[in-house]
Chain A
Amino acid sequence: MDIIASKLFFTGIDIGSTMSKAAVVDAEGVMLGYVIGPTGAEHRRRANMVMEDVLAKCGVSLDEIAYIISTGYGRVNVPFADKQVTELTCHARGVAALFPDVRTAIDIGGQDAKVLKIKNGKLVDFLTNDKCAAGTGRFLEVAAETLGLELNEMGRISLQSDTPVKINSLCTIFAQQEIIASLSEGKPLPDILAGVYIAIATRVVKLARQLKVEPPVVFTGGVAKNGGMVKAIEAVLGMPVSVPPEPLITGCLGAAILARDEAFKLINRGEYKLQKKQLSEAYIEFTEKTR
């Protein structure tokens, strides 16, 4: 396996609604590196860019990549992917790779929120938000725009709050009006921000409770980078949550690990198609070793 590990690599690409991510793993499933960048309007161009970037970062050439899985909203726009897999499956796999005992994962992205129940590393149930941005990162963006803040400074400010403002509206637009009303009433900024986080957390935890939350709970997605949001989720949920060092990459990491599994399945069945030169050598070594 040592010879193979140095020559076979696998990539997962997650074209999300806001950010695109890519990761490379080796034959042992160990991550070599990842990249993150904004998605923008041109999914195909973005897919090419993150692929080039991640290969450069990991020092691997495209010919050494045995299998690629794309995931996320834009997964159909990754023409060089060998397979497309839904982001729910990839997230579950990625979270389980980082936290093998995980039972519940809460993921809040730019435009959606999802709750995954995971058992033995596999997705066993899930729920996603429906037709509303109120429990997603978009809600935070609207709040940031309204308050004239950068997204990355909101969490730090909110942590200074001890009496969060109550945001009652379930609608992003109406909540924005409530934020403006709180500002005009002279409520402190940290309390308004903490109120925004609790509003999002309440909505997402309500979704999670439909699936009956079981610990350990892992919190992922771009919104999990926000310390204020982590605190709010823990407070509303009533239990601690773990956050990966980089909560944005669980989808692409899961996709890369699934790519590895898929390629090995094909290789073991003798169905892997030899198209790449360097790969052929590794493939031959692998099949000789396992024969």
Chain B
Amino acid sequence: MSDSVAPAKTEQKRAINRLKSMYPLRNLVAQDYINTLQASNEGKPTVWAMLNYWEGDLPLKAMGLNIVYPENYSTLMASSGTAEPFLDASDSDGFPTHMCGYGRSTIGYSFRMMKQNDGKIPPEAPMGGMAKPTLLLGSGIICDARFKWFQALSRYFDAPEWCLEMPMMGTFEGTEPDLEEYQVKFLVRELRDFIAFLEKLLGKKMDWAKLEELIEVGIKIHETCWQIHELRKVSPCPMHSTDFWSSMPPALFFAGDMYEALKCYQDMLTEVQERVKNKVAAINYPEKYRIVFAELPPWHSLKFFDNLAEMGWNFVYESYGYHNPRPPDLSKVSDPVEKLARLSRNFVFNVHPYAKADGIENPIVETYLRIAKGWKADGLFLHPLISCRAASAGLRSVQDQLQKRLDVPTLWVEGDIIDKRVFNPQETLARAEAFEQTMEHYRKVRKSRGLDW
């Protein structure tokens, strides 16, 4: 039956021209959920890990552990339209409604599993659910809500939680030359303690050769991703933000089989290169406006971007917090732990030197100025979240500085990553229509200033 229906579907003109190479990357993540459920059924240890900018992912993988990422799972709940009952469950257990959507949905999931379903996966859970964790790996990076959230989860499961720390983002003090080496030493110490904890918990030794190998694969993944996104600077842009969001977990979390992921990203690079060569756009409409999205997307309403694509809006870059920077040259670093420490630290401080040189106090502002210039943005779609201070607080400065320095206007749309009840697509579309006039105006202003887009 599906065979007879499929051709009719493919004949329909889709607004966003999805990359074929995106789908295998998405499938790799789906496989992680299946593998973890299987491992749990076999009595093997499983991990729930938080986005930790790679410092924890690779030691876990080198120890042969199956990992799932609650933040990623929340996005699946939201995009499959199954998040609301879990959000309500979190609310009913006393957690505040203005808390992080990732936290609320997975706290609700854990509450449903442990308090209402005898430790079994709730039947309404998408993708077969997340297996009960043996260990929770938290991270101090980004915000306080994150590590408190994992503390709460660990109480539901009576499972140990380890929290990895990272130097504070957003501060310039961290870039002082003598502090850099201090930070690396701190991270190395954090990682050695974590590895010792894992060895004790699992009763086996770290496979150092495997760790070294995975770090090298990870660096290659990041280098490939960086090359892919550099190609999006051309017009028409060959890759849409929705393809980035769908394919990012194997680079952001190192989710899935890393060797397979590297091959998939290399295929993606080839496909994007082909599109550039043949001037194939990421949308099936003429590229009228090049838009950058900041910061976390409305996972529940990604189809909304099709409406914008129909208007000729091509989303050419997005979500700096989900992108890896170009990996630094670590070929002279022999200790794998130090190499990992330097790779992770690079995410935190890679943009600070440029911000300092440009006289900009907030590195996030510098990041978006560089993106707007490099990717020739006609406008920024800002998505501040009432439930996320970390991803929203700097957006006003981004808005101000982009307008002042580059005459790039912004569309301000409040929403939430998981809770679709606070997003109004119709109103947003009406504003988007009007925003086109604003973008047209500032195109002329930039031209009069001698800017090249």
Contact = CB atoms under 8 A, between A and B. Distances in A.
Contact of A123 (B412, B414, B424, B437): B437
A86 B438 contact: no
B301 to A, nearest CB: 15
A119 B441 contact: yes
A291 interface: no
Nearest to A87: B430
Interface stretch (A124-132, A193-201, A233-241): A124-132
A13 interface: no
Nearest to A75: B430
Residue among A87, A125, A127 with max Cβ neighbours from chain B (10 Å):
A125
B431 A89 contact: no
Nearest to A72: B430
Given A131-B414, A131-B422, A131-B424, A126 B438 contact: yes
A86 B431 contact: yes
Contacts of A128: 427, 431
A89 B442 contact: no
Interface residues of B, number: 15
A122 interface: yes
Contacts of A88: 430-431, 433-434
A88 B432 CA distance: 10
Nearest to B435: A126
A86 B432 CA distance: 9
Contact of A130 (B414, B430, B435, B437): B414
B409 interface: yes
B433 A86 contact: yes
A255 to B, nearest CB: 13
B183 to A, nearest CB: 37
Contacts of B433: 85-86, 88-89
A47 to B, nearest CB: 17
Contacts of A130: 412, 414
A135 to B, nearest CB: 14
A186 to B, nearest CB: 37
Contacts of A123: 434, 437-438, 441
A130 B422 CA distance: 10
Contacts of B430: 86-88
Contacts of A125: 409, 438
Interface string B405-431: 000010010100000001010010011
A130 B409 CA distance: 18
Contacts of B412: 127, 130
B441 A89 contact: no
Contacts of A87: 430, 434
A89 B424 contact: no
A92 B409 CA distance: 17
A130 B434 CA distance: 16
A124 B442 contact: yes
Contacts of B409: 125
Given A131-B414, A131-B422, A122 B437 contact: yes
Nearest to B414: A130
Interface in A76-128: 85-89, 92, 119, 122-128
Nearest to B384: A130
B434 A89 contact: yes
A170 to B, nearest CB: 13
Contacts of A124: 437-438, 441-442
Residue among B412, B424, B430, B431 with max Cβ neighbours from chain A (10 Å):
B430
Contacts of B422: 131
B27 to A, nearest CB: 37
Nearest to B432: A86
Contacts of B437: 89, 92, 122-124
10 contacts: A86-B430, A86-B434, A89-B437, A124-B437, A125-B409, A126-B431, A126-B438, A128-B431, A130-B412, A131-B414
Interface of A: 85-89, 92, 119, 122-128, 130-131
Interface of B: 409, 412, 414, 422, 424, 427, 430-431, 433-435, 437-438, 441-442
Given A88-B434, A123-B434, 12 more contacts: A86-B431, A86-B434, A119-B441, A124-B437, A124-B441, A125-B438, A126-B434, A126-B438, A130-B412, A130-B414, A131-B414, A131-B424
